[in-house]
Amino acid sequence: MIRINLIFTALLAVFLVIEPQGYSQEKSTRKNALEIAKQKEQKVGYACPMHPEVTSDQPGDCAKCGMPLEKSESSEITSVQDKILQAKMLMKEAKDEVIQNGKYSCCTKSPCNVCLMEHQNCDCYKDLKANKAVCNECYAGWQRGDGADKEIKASSVKTSYKKHSH
């Protein structure tokens, strides 16, 4: 029932935002709008395959996980933004569920997404305490100062991720 309400709300928002254009508009206004739309479609951007909300207008690495950003057109990025919000909401719901079930022992203040997507649980804190490598997202979190255990130094945190050269 909740999903049906979410879908209905999303569709309603789309219909309210996209108003039918009046036939009385001048042709030059329509032409300018088409040119602007074409320019937007031609812009190239870059996004992380694991964190699509991390975008850039130039090549580089994801600030969250260090993976190389992949090329995508800005029109794809724009159309994806609504999907990103929905995906974040679903990700949060799934993460909350596994945390409540005691299957998520993340070592960062903001629990990672990588372990959830790959394993449906997180043992990074247990691995960290055993001096083993953590997932790449947790490693990046520690390097940003987001570590959850004040007694562990970021310099001692290891990851098994190998950075790819461009």
* Percent of residues, the chain, with pLDDT higher than 70: 64
CA–CA dist 38, 32 (Å, integer): 10
**Alpha helices (H) in 18-163, listed in sequence order:** 27-42, 74-100, 114-119, 124-129, 136-143
| Per-residue pLDDT, 44 | 63
Say yes or no to pLDDT of 154 above 50: yes
Say yes or no to pLDDT of 3 above 60: no
Domains: count for the chain: 1
For residue 163, name the pLDDT band (cuts at 50, 70, 90). Answer: low
Q: Which tens digits make up the pLDDT trace of 87-124?
A: 888 888 888 999 999 999 999 998 998 898 888 999 99
| Per-residue pLDDT, 55 | 84
Three-state DSSP state, 47: strand
Please give the distance of CA 148 from its chain centroid, rounded to a whole number: 21
| 163 part of a folded domain | no
Q: What is the pTM of this model?
A: 0.50
| 148 part of a folded domain | yes
CA–CA dist 137, 72 (Å, integer): 22
Say yes or no to pLDDT of 26 above 50: no
| 161 part of a folded domain | no
| 110 part of a folded domain | yes
Say yes or no to pLDDT of 143 above 90: yes
CA–CA dist 61, 65 (Å, integer): 8
Span 37-58, average pLDDT: 73
Say yes or no to pLDDT of 18 above 50: no
Say yes or no to pLDDT of 39 above 80: no
141 is in which domain, residue-wise?
Answer: 43-156
Q: Which tens digits make up the pLDDT trace of 79-89?
A: 667 777 788 88
Name the more confident of 40 and 161: 161
Span 136-142, average pLDDT: 94
Say yes or no to pLDDT of 132 above 50: yes
